Amino acid sequence: MLYMSGVLSGARGLFICCSLCLLWSCSNEPSVVSYREAKQPEANTPAPAANPASDAKPQQQISFTAPEGWQPGRPSSMRLASFSVPTGDESADVSLVRLAGMAGGLLANVNRWRGQIGLSPVAQTDLDNLLRESETEQGTSYFRLDLVNESTGQSILAGIYLRENYTLFAKLTASGQSAEAASDSFYAFCDSVVFP
């Protein structure tokens, strides 16, 4: 009898102990706290690039001289500069545009402009006959291009400056007579371009 009473007391004690453990484990308080550590970069992983906005130096500007009589032209987000050149009863449109890298290359741009005035595309071998090498007052070489479609009366004159990281285009669009009248002042403008 005493033995059974002891067993029951031990079982009751065990039951109470287990119940307390169970109640304690159901508490709202977390029993395990976990921390997440940032992953360390591997030895051969390159460091993140510096913030370009904070490291950027002020961009140096390309400068030029607009000939006398040239008027500010229609603004555009693509253009560094825009001019309207009076040529008697008409006017010519002049733009200065800077594009990254080779901007598609010489042939692609020449053929795009030819298409704009209704001329057929040319081959790479024809570029030597179309482009004339010239030099700015600063001593920078560039290409001059004269395109004329005599059947439509449209013309494009261009100065193409191939730089290390970008290409600069000076372009005049007009009728044939206006382009001829503005040719000297346009190429004087092209010669005046100064690179930083």
The tokens of 152 are what? 């439509």
- Tell me the pLDDT tens digit for each residue of 93-138: 999 999 988 787 899 999 999 999 999 999 999 999 999 999 999 9
Class for domain 68-191, per CATH? alpha beta
Place of tokens 């500007």: 61
The tokens of 192 are what? 């005046």
Instruction: State the pTM of this model.
Output: 0.68
Amino acid identity, residue 160? I
99 Cβ contact list (under 8 Å, min separation 6) = 166, 167, 169
- Tell me the pLDDT tens digit for each residue of 62-100: 999 999 999 998 878 889 999 999 988 889 999 999 998
